[in-house]
Structure 1
Amino acid sequence: MPEKLKVVLCWHMHQPAYYDWHNEQYQLPWTYLHGIKDYVDMAAHLEAVPNARAVVNFAPTLLVQLDDYVQQINAFLRDATPIRDPLLAAFNSHPAHTPFLSTSNEETSPLVEARLTLIDQCLRANEERLIQRFKPYQELAELAVQLKQSPKLVTYLDEQYIIDLLMWYHLAWLGETVRRSDDRVKALIEKGREFNETDRRQLLEIIGELLSEIIPRYKALAEQGQIELSVTPYAHPIMPLLLDTFSAREALPDINLSGIGCYPDGKDRVRWHMREGIKTFEQYFGFTPQGCWPSEGSVSEISVRLMEEFGIRWVASGTNVWNNSMAGQDHQSLHRPYSLANSSVRCFFRDDNLSDLIGFEFSKWHANDAVAHLVHHLENIAASQSGAQVASIILDGENAWEHYPENGYHFLSALYEKLSEHPKLELTTFSQCLNAGVAELPTIVAGSWVYGTFSTWIGSPDKNRGWEMLIEAKHVFDHVVPRLDPKTREAASRQLAICEGSDWCWWFGDYNASDTVHDFDRLYRLHLAQLYRLLGETPPDYLGHAFTYGGGSPAISGTMRKGQENEG
C-alpha cells in the first residue's frame, strides 16, 4: 500500500505592537477583535475534530498583547481600573464616546469629533459578511453613512444609538462558534436593540472570558499532540534584511535601494529577536518550540543557518523562494523537506496555489465544493508527482475568514473532517515530517513567501524612507545605549525591536488603502518617537508628519498577499 501524502496546514497568527507607551493607549483594536473571532474559532474547529492536525504559529508580540488585554479586562471588572483601549473602554464610559474626546480638530466640536471617531471605528467590518448579516447592525450602519455626510447631525444623536452600534460591532466580530454555543450571546443578538448597562458589562465579560481562554486552549491542543506550536522572531522582523539589506538584490537585482545602507549590527538584532521570541513562547506555553515560521516566510542562507543556534529544527517559506533556489535542478518536487548542505534545519515550502485558494478564492464558493476541490488537488499531487512527500498549506490564520460566510465555519469544519478521514492523505505537522524524503537545497536565494522577493517591504520610495528613518534611529541607539542603565537599555532594545517589525513597511506605498496606510504610518512614527525618548533624545521633527498616504484598493483590504505576483 503506497504511503499517504502528508498534508500540513500551518496557520500564522500575528498582530504587531499596537500599544503606544507614550500616550499609554492602544491605537488599534485588532488584537482583541481577532482574538474573540478568529483565534477562538480556530481552536474550536480543532477541538471538534480530534483526529485533525495542524501547525499554529503565534507571533510573540501577539501573545504579549493578548495577555495584556486579559489583565486589563480583569482589572476593570475587579476594581474598575481604566481600560487602555478606547474602543473597549467605551463599554463602560458615560457617554460612550468619552475615550475618544479630543480637541485637536478646530473645525468640529470635541463631541462631534469623538462621536464620529467612535462611529467610524464601529464600521470597520466586512460589509457583506459582518454588517449585512445582522439587520439591526445594518440599519445602524446605514444611518452612520448619512451622519458622516452631515457631521453636525451627530450632535443630536441619542446616546442609545451609539451604545447599540458599539454592541453590534462586537457581537458581529464574535467567532461563529461562540454565537452558536453561548446562550448569553444568543440572548443579546435576539434582543437586538436598546442595550442597557447590564448588557454592556455582560458583553465585556464575555470578551474577557474568550481572550483568557485562547492561550490555554492552544496549549492544551499542543499537549494532546493535536497541534504543533511554532514561533516567529519577537517583533516579526524581516530577518534577511536586518542581516544584509542588500540581500534584496538576490531575487531582484535591479531593486532600488538608493539612500539605504546596511542595517547596523543586524546579526545581533536577529539574535535578540530569536532569543526574546523563544523566551516569550516558553513563558506562555511552557516548552521550547522546534519550528520557526520566519516573519513573512523570509529566508536567506545566512538566516537559515543562524537558526541552528536556537535549536530550531524547521523553517518554511514560499514557492518562489524554492523556484529561485532550485533553478536548473530538474525532476525535484516542491512537496518535500529540503536542507542546505551541512545544516540540520529542514526547509518546507508553501504550495502557493493551494494556500491562495483558501486565502482568496474559496470564500466565494460553497464550502463542500471548495473542500472537494482542494482535496482533489492534493489527490493529484499524491498520485502524479514523483518525490512528493509533504504538501505545505500555509497562510494567515486570521484575516481570510471575515470574507467567508459565517467566519469560515462551514469551510473549516468540512476541511478538517475530510482531510482527517481521507484514506490517501495524512494531516500532520512539520516536526513529524523532518525526515520525509529530505532533498538537498543547493542554496537559498533570499526572499519571502510574497512573490519570492522583498518588494513588499523595500525598494519603493515610501518603503525606503521607512528604512532610512529606522537606520537613523539605530545609529542613535548604538551611540546612546552604552550609557543607559540596564532597565532603560532593555526598554529601548524592546522598543527598537518593535520599530524593526515587518508590518510598517508592508503598508507603506500608494497601492494600499488610505485609511490603513494612515494608521500604520502614524503608529510607526509614534513608535520611533518613543524610541528616541527612551534614549533621552528629542525625536526628529519629521516624525511629526505623515510621509506615506496610500490610495489603492487591494484584495482582502491589503491584509494579505498572494504568493504569486502574476495572480490577480
Structure 2
Amino acid sequence: MSPERKLKVVFCWHMHQPEYRQMSSGDFALPWTYLHALKDYTDMAWHLEQVPGARAVVNFVPILLDQLADYCQQFENGNFRDPLLRALALPDLGTLGQDDRRQLLSSCFRANQEHLIDPFPGYRHLQQLYQHTVESDADSLEYLSVQYFADLVTWYHLAWTGETVRRSHPEIISLMAKGHGFTPADRQQLIHIYGQVFADLIPRYRRLADSGKIELSTTPYFHPILPLLQDLKVAAESLDAPLPAREAYPGGIERARWHLEAAKQSHRELFGHEVTGMWPAEGGVSDATLHLMAHEGLQWAATGEGVLANSLRRQIEGELPDRVEYLYQPYRVSDGRAGICCFFRDDRLSDLIGFEYSRWFGRDAVDHFVHELEKIRELSADQPDPVVSIILDGENAWEYYPYNGFYFLSGLYQRLAEHPGIEMSTYRDYLVNSQAPCPASLDKVVAGSWVYGTFSTWIGSPDKNRAWELLCDAKSAFDAVIARGELNPAQLTPALHQLAICEGSDWFWWFGDYNPDDTVRDFDALYRANLANLYRLIKLPVPRVLEDTISVGAGHPASGGVMRPGQVH
C-alpha cells in the first residue's frame, strides 16, 4: 500500500428488533424497541454527529422502523399501548391491579445489574426491597406502596435512558439526583422528554445520511433468513445436523422476494432514496439469495467471515492462506446476468467490541483496536485497496459497557477520524471511489450466516426444527385458504402481515436450552401466539399442538444471549 493510501474501515451497525405488537390487541408484548431507542439509537446518532470525520453504515430493519413510528404516534396522542410506558404515564398508580403490579415487578428489574442497576442507589434500594419481600414471599406484594411502584417505573426508565440524552437534559439529571419520591409531574416530565427524543430520532439519521456521514442500508422486511425461506436444505452446505422433516418452506422463493421488495419500498418511502446495499438478516446468504439481491438492483451485501472461509476452501480445494491475504476485500458474486459485491465481517475485531472491550478501560480498548488496524494496514500493504468490515449489533453491546459505551465510542471515532493512515468509510463510497472496487470473485457461496458460518443458531436442533415444521404447516394452510379464495382483500392484508411476523428469524434464535429460561419462555409464547393468530385470521381452527411449549431455556450465555460471537471460541 502506498504511503498516501489509507486503510478503509467500515463500521456497519445493525439496528433490529422483531415485531413485538400483538395483532390481536395492538399492545406491545415486550418493551425492547422503545428502550433501545431511548438508550442506544439516540447515543449512536450522537457519536456520529459529534466527530466530523466519523463515517458508518447504519442498517435499519424495516419492521423496527415501523415500530418506532408507532411509538412516535403514541407519544403524540398519549394513548400508550406498551404496559411499561402506560404505567409511567399513569396519573394515579394506585389504580393498578395486582396483575399489573406483578408485571411491573417482573419487568422493571430486567436490566444489566452492573451497569444499569448498581450505579444508582435509589434503583438498587428498590431491588433490595423487592428481594427481601415479594421475591421471598409472594403474599407480601400488598405491602409495597403506590410510591414504591412510582419510584420503580421511574428508575427503570431513567436507567434505560441514553447517556447522551441524560447529558443534554438537565431535568433528567435532577430526577436522578432526587432519587425517590417521584411524583406524577416527574413522570410526565420524562414522558415529554421521551416524546421529543422519538419525534427527532429517524429525522436525525436521515440528516446524517443526507450529509454523507452515514450510508443507510436495510434488511428483508421482517428479518427472515432468506436462504432458509428459499430452500431449507441449503443449511446442509455448512451444517452437519438433522433438518426439519419438511424439505422446503411452501412458496418460500416468492416470500423471500416479497420481504426484499417490501424492504426496498419502505426504505425509499422513509428516507427518500433507493437503497444501495443490505445486511441480510443474520448475514444469511446463499447463491440463490445473493443472485436475488443482485437482480433486485442491490450493489452490495455483507455477511460473516466464516461464509468466506467456507466458500474459499471449496474454491481452492486446500488450506487457506493467512486471513489477511483474503479477508480485506469484497468479492463479486454473479449468475452471469447480474452481480453483487459481497463484503465480509472481521469476526475477531467485531467480537472484541461486542464481547471483550466492555471489560477494558475505554482508552486502553481504543488503543488496542487502533493498533490492530495498524497491523492490518501494514500486512495488507501489497493489496490494491483493503477494507476492514466491522459489523455488529448496534444496540445490545452497550448495556455491558460503563456509561453505555460513551467513552469508548467517543474515543474510538475521534482516534480513527484523526488517524493519518486510516479512513472511516461506507460500502457505497468504497465501491464508488476504490480503484479496484471488487477485484476478486466467488464461483460458489457456501450458504451460511455470520454466526460460525452456518445456520446452526436457527435450524438443526429438535426444537428449532419443530418450530420450522409448525411454520411450514401454517404456511400450507394459508396457501390452501388463498387458493380457495376464502379471504377478501380486507382480510388478506392482516393475514399477510401476520405471516410475515411468523417468518422472522428471532423466534428460532431464542429456541435452545443454552439460552436464559425467561427469554426463551417469552419468545416461545410469542411465536406460538403469532402462529395461532395466523390461523384465526385465515379462519381456521387453531391446532392444539400450539398449546405445547417448543423450547425451554436453562443457559447463561454471554450478553444474555442477545449476541453471539462470529466464531467458535
In the alignment, structure 1 residue 34 sits paired with structure 2 residue 31: no
Corresponding letter in the other structure for 1:323: A
Cα deviation digits, residues 57-114 of structure 1 (max 9, x gap): 00001000000011012111xxxxx311111110233653867x5xxxxxxxxx1x43
What amino acid is the match of 2:340?
V
CA contact (8 A) 1:234 1:276 kept: yes
**1:190 and 2:191 matched:** no
8 Å contact 2:94–2:146 — kept in the other structure? no
- Tell me the secondary structure at the aligned position of residue 7 of structure 1: strand
- Does 2:398 match 1:401? yes
Q: Please, which moves more after superposition, 88-97 or 186-195?
A: 88-97
Please, which runs of 5 or more residues in structure 2 have no aligned partner?
Answer: none
Which of 414, 417, 422 is equivalent to 1:420?
Answer: 417
8 A contact 1:297–1:449 mirrored in 2: yes
The answer on whether the counterparts of 1:97 and 1:115 sit within 8 Å (CA) in structure 2 is: no
- Aligned residue identity for 1:125: A
What is the rounded CA distance, in whole Å, between the counterparts of 2:256 and 2:543 in structure 1? 26
Which of 494, 505, 511 is matched with 2:497 structurally? 494
- Displacement of 1:352: 0.1
Q: CA deviation at 1:116?
A: 2.3
Deviations 1:479-524 (A, max 9, x none): 1124121232222112111100000000001110000000000111
Q: How big is the shift at 1:348?
A: 0.1
Distance 2:376 2:438 in 1: 15
Alpha-carbon distance in 2 for matches of 1:487, 1:352: 46
Deviates more, 1:42-51 or 1:140-149: 140-149
Mapping for residues 94-243 of structure 1, pairs under 5 Å: 95-96=92-93, 101=97, 111=98, 113-146=99-132, 147-243=134-230
Partner of 1:79: none
The Cα offsets for residues 372-399 of structure 1, whole Å up to 9 and x where unpaired, read as: 1111111111111343610000000000
1:333 to 326, 336, 346: 326
Residue 436 of structure 1: how far off its partner (Å): 3.0
- Distance in 2 between residues matched to 1:48 and 1:305, nearest whole Å: 38
In 1, the alpha carbon distance for the partners of 2:418 and 2:376 equals 18
Q: Does 1:362 align with 2:348?
A: no
Deviates more, 1:520-529 or 1:183-192: 183-192
Which of the residues 277, 284, 291 maps onto 1:291? 277
Find the counterpart in structure 2 of residue 105 from structure 1: none
Secondary structure of 1:339's aligned partner = strand
**Aligned positions, number:** 549
| 2: CA distance, partners of 1:91 / 1:419 | 40
CA distance in 2, matches of 1:84, 1:258: 37
Deviation at 1:311, TM superposition (A): 1.4
Letter in 2 for 1:458: I
Q: Does the CA-based 8 Å contact 1:58-1:229 persist in structure 2?
A: yes
- Counterpart of 1:535 in structure 2 is 538
The question of whether the paired residues in 2 share the 8 Å contact of 1:238 and 1:501 is answered with yes
Amino acid at match of 1:423: P
Give 2:440's aligned residue. Answer: 439
1:313-333 CA-to-partner distances (Å, cap 9, x unmatched) read: 100000110000011545542
Q: Determine helix, strand or coil for the equivalent of 2:215.
A: strand
1:104 paired residue number: none
1:212-239: per-residue Cα shift (whole Å, max 9, x none)? 2110000000000000000000000000
**Residue type matched to 1:297 in 2?**
G
Tell me the amino acid that sits aligned with residue 133 of structure 1: P
Query: In the aligned structure 2, how far is the partner of 1:344 from the partner of 1:166?
Result: 51
Alpha-carbon contact 1:335-1:389 (below 8 Å) kept: yes
User: Deviations for 1:341-392, whole angstroms, at most 9, x for unmatched residues?
Assistant: 4443110000000000000000000111111111111111111134361000
- Give the CA deviation at 1:24: 2.5
SS in 1 for 2:285: coil
Q: Deviations over 1:444-496 (max 9, x none)?
A: 00000000000000000110110011000000111112412123222211211
Q: Residue type matched to 1:149 in 2?
A: S
TM-score (ref. length: structure 1): 0.94
Q: TM-score, normalised by structure 2?
A: 0.94
The corresponding residue for 1:353 is: 348
Q: Distance in 1 between matches of 2:417 and 2:475?
A: 48
Partner-residue secondary structure (3-state), 2:542? coil
Mapped contact 1:389–1:436 kept (Cα < 8 A):
no
2:308 and 2:344 in contact (8 A); partners too: yes
Identical positions, percent: 51
What corresponds to 1:455 in structure 2?
Answer: 456
Structure 1 residues 390 and 264, CA, compared in 2 at 3 Å: closer, same or farther?
A: same
Q: Secondary structure at the match of 2:115?
A: helix
**Residue 44 of structure 1 corresponds to which residue in structure 2?**
46
Determine helix, strand or coil for the equivalent of 2:378.
helix
Q: Whole-Å Cα distance in 2 between the matches of residues 92 and 170 of structure 1?
A: 12
Say whether 1:509 aligns with 2:512.
yes
SS of the equivalent of 1:306 reads helix
Deviation string, structure 1 residues 268-312 (Cα, Å, up to 9, x no partner): 001110111112222221211101100000000110010123211
Instruction: Kindly indicate whether the alpha-carbon contact (under 8 Å) linking 2:126 and 2:152 is maintained by their aligned counterparts in 1.
Output: yes
Q: Give me the whole-angstrom Cα distance separating, in 2, the residues matched to 1:92 and 1:10.
A: 35
Q: 1:98 to 1:382 in 2, by over 3 A?
A: farther
SS in 2 for 1:345: strand
1:300 aligned partner = 286
Preserved contact between residue 420 and residue 426 of structure 1 (Cα < 8 Å): yes
Distance 1:9 1:392 in 2: 6
Is contact 1:512-1:554 (8 Å) kept?
A: yes
Deviation (angstroms), 1:53: 0.2
Corresponding residue to 2:376 among 355, 375, 381: 381
Q: One-letter code of the match for 1:180? A: R
Deviations 1:145-204 (A, max 9, x none): 222111111101110010001000000100001111111111111211111111111111
User: For the residues of structure 2 that align with 1:462 and 1:547, how far apart are their CA atoms?
Assistant: 6
On the 8 A contact 1:5/1:389 being kept in 2, the answer is yes
Q: CA deviation at 1:2?
A: 4.2
Distance in 2 separating the partners of 1:213 and 1:509:
38
Identify the range of structure 1 (202-211 vs 266-275) with the bigger mean alpha-carbon deviation: 202-211
Cα pair 1:337 1:433 within 8 Å, conserved: no
Question: How far apart, in 2, do the equivalents of 1:128 and 1:246 lie?
Answer: 43
200-209 vs 37-46, which moves further: 200-209
Distance verdict in 2 for CA 1:478–1:97, change over 3 Å: farther
Q: Aligned AA for 2:551?
A: T
SS at match of 1:347: strand
Q: Is the CA contact 1:90–1:98 (under 8 Å) kept in the aligned structure 2?
A: no
Structure 1: 5+ residue stretches without partners: 77-81, 102-110
Could you tell me how far apart the structure 1 residues matched to 2:243 and 2:230 are? 15
Judge conservation of contact 1:4–1:425 (CA < 8 Å) in 2. yes
CA distance in 1, matches of 2:450, 2:125: 41
Aligned residue number for residue 106 of structure 1: none
